[in-house]
């Protein structure tokens, strides 16, 4: 009886371990880096229509800060920043598309929140733009403060943090409002212009981006002074594939560190040859084996800076033209919030 019982117990344990192994294999995250290399292309989810962040130019090529964030990752993994397929998606579509594997990553004005990481199986790899929610009104309304919006109709997109922030702000200030909820960014902006709502609320970057597209009547639209939330925006990946997470995170940090060290797309080759600064040598792969520890070449950051530029170059190219001063998006050494951990 003891021998039989022992054998049965052993078989039960073996079976349990085999089942656990199968379950773990079924749940094991996909190797995103291997998939990107096999297809020769990074697939990146971006906003549908966001000047300064993601918008096709006259030749159909995507431009913007989020676009450059994706291109930096492609440069790190594939050696070529142009090998990206951009997939525009709405606020409602973005998370299911990432969860299902339709896109490898998101870089589309997405706010980092606890719930999105703890409930959706996603991980934010960093912050490429510090933002906040605001309100826009027509100048002819005479409104100069959000506190004057009691009883107003407000255009807002569903599936975003802006809905919650809007409700919280009006409830906190004991004001009433009527939401006009429209998913499409083009339709919600058209509704605001047509007068279907008294105010339009979104991230300040998005509001400024919208105003920048108004070539004939931009002066008619006014950003109110109140900033009612913190909106740290950044690239998002699926949880569990930590090698890909590391590459996305440190690609952004490399651009921030490069600006701090004075390394630009114009001087990166010379800096790689002549700089004796240990931080520059490590960043550009001249010492240490930091790239290989992430599964990429040691000159991964050099390729990013040469092909895409440092963070300051990205900002000046994409965000400055739509009228948003750097402010909190400056380096920490210039009074801003951007700060890269040591690359060592």
Tokens matching residue 66: 């989020």
pLDDT one-digit tens code per residue, 64-121: 999 999 999 999 999 999 999 999 998 889 999 999 999 999 999 899 999 999 999 9
Task: Give the pLDDT of residue 30.
Answer: 82
Cα–Cα distance, 72 to 250 (Å, whole number): 10
Instruction: Compute how many other C-beta atoms are within 10 angstroms of the C-beta atom of residue 44.
Output: 25
Q: Which residue has the higher pLDDT, 9 or 162?
A: 162
Two structure tokens written together for 30: 């996909």
Q: Residue 212: pLDDT band by 50, 70, 90 thresholds?
A: confident
Answer whether 180's CB lies under 8 Å from 196's CB. Answer: yes
Mean per-residue pLDDT, 189-209: 94
SS3 sequence of 115-132: HHHHHCCEEECCCCEEEC
Q: What is the pLDDT of residue 8?
A: 37
CA 293 and chain centroid, separation: 24
pLDDT band at 275 (very low <50, low <70, confident <90, very high): very high
Closest to 236 measured CA to CA, from 77, 48, 97, 33: 97
- pTM, whole model, 2 decimals? 0.84
Dist CA 176 CA 195 (whole Å): 19
Between the alpha carbon of residue 35 and those of residues 31, 79, 97, 106, 311, the distances in Å are 6, 15, 16, 16, 27
Instruction: Identify the sign of the CA torsion 180, 186, 189, 195.
Output: negative
Looking at residue 173, its pLDDT comes to: 97
In the chain, at which residue ranges do the beta strands (DSSP E only) sit? 42-46, 55-56, 62-63, 84-88, 105-106, 122-124, 129-131, 133-138, 152-156, 177-181, 199-203, 221-223, 231-233, 236-238
Q: Looking at residue 99, what is its pLDDT?
A: 96
Extents of the domains making up the chain: 132-230
DSSP structure class, residue 310: -
Mean pLDDT, the chain, integer: 90
26 pLDDT above the threshold of 60:
no
Which tokens sit at 21?
Answer: 């192994």
Beta bridge partners of 131: 231
Q: Look at residue 29 in the predicted model and tell me its pLDDT.
A: 61
Mean pLDDT calculated for residue range 158-182: 94
CATH among 1.10.10.60, 3.40.190.10, 3.40.470.10, 3.40.50.300 for 132-230: 3.40.190.10
């Amino acid at each position: 009886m003891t021998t039989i019982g022992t054998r049965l117990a052993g078989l039960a344990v073996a079976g349990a371990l085999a089942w656990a192994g199968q379950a773990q294999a079924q749940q094991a995250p996909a190797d995103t880096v291997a998939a990107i290399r096999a297809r020769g292309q990074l697939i990146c989810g971006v906003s549908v229509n966001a000047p300064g962040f993601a918008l096709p130019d006259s030749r159909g090529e995507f431009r913007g800060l989020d676009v450059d964030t994706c291109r930096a990752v492609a440069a790190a993994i594939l050696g070529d920043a142009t090998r990206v397929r951009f997939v525009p998606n709405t606020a409602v579509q973005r998370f299911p598309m990432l969860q299902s594997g339709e896109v490898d990553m998101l870089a589309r004005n997405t706010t980092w929140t606890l719930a999105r990481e703890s409930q959706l199986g996603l991980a934010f790899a960093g912050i490429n733009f510090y933002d906040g929610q605001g309100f826009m009104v027509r100048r002819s309304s005479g409104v100069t403060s959000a506190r004057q919006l009691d009883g107003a109709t407000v255009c807002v997109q569903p599936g975003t943090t802006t809905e919650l922030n809007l409700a919280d702000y009006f409830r906190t200030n004991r004001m009433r409002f009527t939401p006009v909820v429209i998913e499409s960014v083009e339709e919600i902006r058209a509704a605001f212009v047509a007068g279907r709502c008294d105010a339009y609320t979104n991230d300040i970057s998005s509001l400024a981006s919208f105003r920048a597209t108004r070539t004939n009547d931009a002066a008619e639209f006014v950003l109110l002074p109140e900033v009612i939330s913190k909106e740290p925006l950044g690239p998002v990946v699926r949880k569990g594939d930590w090698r890909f997470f590391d590459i996305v995170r440190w690609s952004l940090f490399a651009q921030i560190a490069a600006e701090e060290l004075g390394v630009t797309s114009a001087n990166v080759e010379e800096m790689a040859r002549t700089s004796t600064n240990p931080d520059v040598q490590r960043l550009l792969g001249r010492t240490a084996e930091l790239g290989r520890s992430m599964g990429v070449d040691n000159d991964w950051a050099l390729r990013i800076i040469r092909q895409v530029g440092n963070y300051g170059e990205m900002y000046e190219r994409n965000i400055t033209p739509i009228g948003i001063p750097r402010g909190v998006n400056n380096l920490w050494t210039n009074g801003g919030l951007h700060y890269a951990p040591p690359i060592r």
